[in-house]
């Protein structure tokens, strides 16, 4: 998310909404799939108590230091993925036998409850029923559907609508809990699906609240999703860099083996293992996160020119020595000529579109040759730091150019085409020109049209900030990412989050994120202290997540330097 800290102002940046593309569904294909489902294998939604761990847990006694490390009994070395999936399938069972995989129902929007400026119209052609709802413009403009499902399981929610003047998105809640975003584009009534949403037998309130507003809402359709698809976790461990280092390959194999079986805990902290976030989490749960999130922001030349100095490379090396996993983002401050550096647009906020006058379209199409050379200069500066990490044998989950589709960062402000060109340039410059091969490429563009292609991406991620104390699995976003991929399956990760999801719900909903990466500052700690803040995640939920047998912490990681031997 667009959050970082300026050196002089120590600024705190407020999270901005994610901007995704919407998902289209074909009714005929859906019907054929549903007909093929056996009533014997209904939606599996309850983890069994005797689920066996796929990934080795290493106790502090085994490591000798309480923070992960080598063990002579790496039970997982020889396990293959097929065996893992079998175990996982056996670990789930149906909650109820009355789930109907052929269930579907349509509720016209004009039959829903609505408040504020919302009203019924019938001027635009293409609606069903007697009309559609319009007037969703203010926070008080709310539409609530009351629905009833006959059996506990997964359902697809289709908010058929049309954007009033282009792309729009709005927030969806079930029984008061945020579950995702309904998105629509174009000038005709269109399907907008949130897929595989868990509903228990009985009555529920499904509510749409304004995010952008300004839509014509035709109806809500509820369709049974059917059985669990465990094949989504069958991904290849082959990296997109054919020259990937052995450490990167071993880490990727571990991630693939874990995917769908365990969630890896992660935390951003610019202080590293001894940072305030890590210490607060340990004091509150007795556990350290398995993954450390860092940033190359202070290594960017335009920030160095103003006196910045980064320490994150040293933190990464230290954490790797303790057996942990390291991920890096890069809030890329625009080059100096593009920084107005005014009071309202200070130099340290130069990764934001609003604080720069850089035009990526002109740079990538050749109109701004100086800008192109400056971007190459910046990439080369980060390559120098990556080389240090490669020499220290530290594999990196590398997440550059994140959240592009939102447009709040300059690398996304010119649209998807120049962004994809820049992503490919970065990939080529680091992998081929600089011969850097310790990177696992994590794409986090936040929109289907921004995907550079399977050959440039190892892991697909999204950043979600659903509000305060929202512990749902965010299954709709998980399944949306599945639909964005080109031809092959990829690991799916929650690359940034505000509040931590309930791991039990993730397994129940078959939305088992590979890892989460909770953002730093107020999302974990209180007033920049070593004390936990409960604003986003209550301490009880944090303890539940970090002590869950479904979540891996630092002390539970195997020796990643020899993993797979």
Domains of the chain: 60-89+240-556 (3.20.20.80), 97-224 (2.60.120.260)
Handedness of CA 29, 32, 36, 42 (dihedral sign): positive
Looking at residue 96, what is its pLDDT?
Answer: 59
In DSSP notation, 336-398 reads GGG---BTTB-GGGTTBGGG----HHHHHTTS-HHHHHHHHHHHHHHHHHHHHHHHTT--EEE
Do 291 and 265 form a contact (C-beta atoms < 8 A)?
yes
DSSP state at residue 290: S
* Beta pairing partners, 461: 493
Distance of alpha carbon 413 from alpha carbon 354, whole angstroms: 10
Looking at residue 160, what is its pLDDT?
Answer: 98
* Beta pairing partners, 8: none
Q: In 286-334, which residue ranges form alpha helices assigned H by DSSP?
A: 301-304, 312-321
Structure tokens belonging to residue 228:
């669990």
DSSP state at residue 500: P
Do 30 and 223 form a contact (C-beta atoms < 8 A)?
yes
The pTM score is 0.83
Identify which of 96, 101, 88, 105 has the alpha carbon closest to the alpha carbon of residue 146: 105
Enzyme catalytic residues: 403, 496
Opening angle at CA 456, ends 454 and 461, nearest 5:
75
Distance of alpha carbon 127 from alpha carbon 161, whole angstroms: 9
pLDDT under 50 in the chain at which residues? 1-95
pLDDT tens-digit map of 125-168? 999 999 999 999 999 999 999 999 999 999 999 999 999 888 99
Looking at residue 487, what is its pLDDT?
Answer: 75
Looking at residue 547, what is its pLDDT?
Answer: 98
Distance of alpha carbon 524 from alpha carbon 155, whole angstroms: 33
In 129-244, where do the E strands start and end?
132-134, 142-149, 153-163, 168-174, 177-184, 193-199, 202-209, 215-224
SS3 113: strand
Looking at residue 98, what is its pLDDT?
Answer: 86
Do 228 and 539 form a contact (C-beta atoms < 8 A)?
no
């Amino acid at each position: 998310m667009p959050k970082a800290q300026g050196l002089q102002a120590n600024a705190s940046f407020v999270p901005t909404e994610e901007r995704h593309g919407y998902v289209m569904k074909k009714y005929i294909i859906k019907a054929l799939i549903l007909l093929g489902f056996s009533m014997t294998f209904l939606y599996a939604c309850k983890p069994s108590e005797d689920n066996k761990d796929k990934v080795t847990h290493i106790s502090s006694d085994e490591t000798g230091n309480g923070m992960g490390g080598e063990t002579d009994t790496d039970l997982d070395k020889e396990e293959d993925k097929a065996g893992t999936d079998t175990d996982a399938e056996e670990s789930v069972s149906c909650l109820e036998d009355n789930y109907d995989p052929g269930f579907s129902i349509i509720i016209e929007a004009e039959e829903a409850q609505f408040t504020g400026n919302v009203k019924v119209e019938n001027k635009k052609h293409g609606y069903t029923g007697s009309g559609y709802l319009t007037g969703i413009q203010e926070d008080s403009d709310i539409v609530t559907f009351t629905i009833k499902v006959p059996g506990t399981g997964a359902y697809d929610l289709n908010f058929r609508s049309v954007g009033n003047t282009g792309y729009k998105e709005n927030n969806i809640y079930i029984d008061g809990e945020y579950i995702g975003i309904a998105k629509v584009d174009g000038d005709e009534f269109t399907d907008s699906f949130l897929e595989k949403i868990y509903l228990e037998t009985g009555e529920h309130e499904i509510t749409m609240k304004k995010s952008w507003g300004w839509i014509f809402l035709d109806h809500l359709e509820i369709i049974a999703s059917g059985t669990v698809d465990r094949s989504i976790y069958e991904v290849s461990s082959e990296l997109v860099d054919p020259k990937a280092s052995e450490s990167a390959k071993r880490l990727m194999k571990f991630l693939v083996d874990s995917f769908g079986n365990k969630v890896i805990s992660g935390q951003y902290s610019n202080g590293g293992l001894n940072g305030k976030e890590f210490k607060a989490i340990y004091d509150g749960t007795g556990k350290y996160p398995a993954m450390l999130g860092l940033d190359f922001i202070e290594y960017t030349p335009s920030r160095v020119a103003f006196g910045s100095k980064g320490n994150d490379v040293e933190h990464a090396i230290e954490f790797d020595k303790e057996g942990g996993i390291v991920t890096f983002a890069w809030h890329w401050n625009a080059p100096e000529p593009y920084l107005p550096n005014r009071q309202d647009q200070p130099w340290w906020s130069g990764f934001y579109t609003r604080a720069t006058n850089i035009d990526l379209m002109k740079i990538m199409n050749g109109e701004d040759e100086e800008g192109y050379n400056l971007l190459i200069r910046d990439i080369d500066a980060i390559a120098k730091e990556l080389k240090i990490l490669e020499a220290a044998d530290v594999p990196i989950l590398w997440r550059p150019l994140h959240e592009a589709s939102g447009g709040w960062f300059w690398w996304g402000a010119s649209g998807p085409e120049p962004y994809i060109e820049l992503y490919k340039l970065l990939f080529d410059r680091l992998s081929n020109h600089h011969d850097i091969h310790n990177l696992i490429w994590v794409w986090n563009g936040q929109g289907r049209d921004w995907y550079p292609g399977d050959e440039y991406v190892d892991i697909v991620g999204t950043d979600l900030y659903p509000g305060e104390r929202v512990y749902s699995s965010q299954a709709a976003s998980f399944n949306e990412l599945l639909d964005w991929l080109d031809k092959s399956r990829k690991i799916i990760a929650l690359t940034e989050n505000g509040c931590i999801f309930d791991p039990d719900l993730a397994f129940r909903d078959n939305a088992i994120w590979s890892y989460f990466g909770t953002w730093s500052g107020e999302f974990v700690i209180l007033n920049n202290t070593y004390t936990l803040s409960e604003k986003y995640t209550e301490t009880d939920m944090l303890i539940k997540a970090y002590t869950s047998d479904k979540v891996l912490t630092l002390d539970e990681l195997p020796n990643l330097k020899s993993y797979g031997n």
